Amino acid sequence: MNAPVLLESGIVDVKFGTEVKVVQPVNLYGCQIGDGTFIGPFVEIQRDVVIGRRTKVQSHAFICELVTIGDDCFIGHGVVFINDTFANGGPARGDKSLWRSTRLGNNVSIGSNATIMPVDICDGVVIGAGAVVVHDITEPGRYAGNPARLIGK
């Protein structure tokens, strides 16, 4: 029987603002975290992610490469961001040119277990728990469902 290859996780090459709080264990690498932001346990934030000031990222969230999150946002428990749309019928398998970016404006709140495909979301949006966001959101309001749709202003 062969022994498994064990890889370390943790906090590597992260640019932290002031007064950031991180609850371990986490896997943060090559990202930027703004002033006064909170990162809960069991969160992964990948390289080149930028998170603004005073944002809260709750436990078990996954924020992949090519995501930018504005100031004063809330990312609920278990929220998943996607950058690979399987444009060729399956995973990009290392071809990052097939990945797409996601941008959240300021004051965006995302409920637990939502899935965010590569989209742009404007300021002042609330995404309901379990929603699947597949299209850009250009109008402030409350969105829910699969696919997420405007349910109120």
Helix, strand and coil in the chain, % to nearest 5: 0, 35, 65
Domains by residue range for the chain, with CATH: 11-152 (2.160.10.10)
CA angle centred on 109, ends 107 and 110, rounded to 5°: 150
DSSP letter string over 44-75? EE-TT-EE-TT-EE-TT-EE-TTEEE-SS-EE
All residues at 6 or more sequence positions from 13 whose CB lies less than 8 Å from its CB, including other chains:
29, 30, 47
DSSP assignment, residue 112?
A: T
CA distance 126 to 12: 31
Q: Is the pLDDT of residue 44 over 90?
A: yes
Give 110-150 pLDDT, tens digit per residue: 999 999 999 999 999 999 999 999 999 999 999 999 999 99
**Do 153 and 140 contact (CB within 8 A), yes or no?**
yes
Q: What pLDDT, on a 0 to 100 scale, did the predictor assign at position 131? A: 98
Q: Would you state the pLDDT for residue 9?
A: 80
Residue 8 pLDDT > 90, yes or no?
A: no
pLDDT one-digit tens code per residue, 63-100 = 999 999 999 999 999 999 999 999 889 999 888 999 99
Tokens of 64: 């992949």
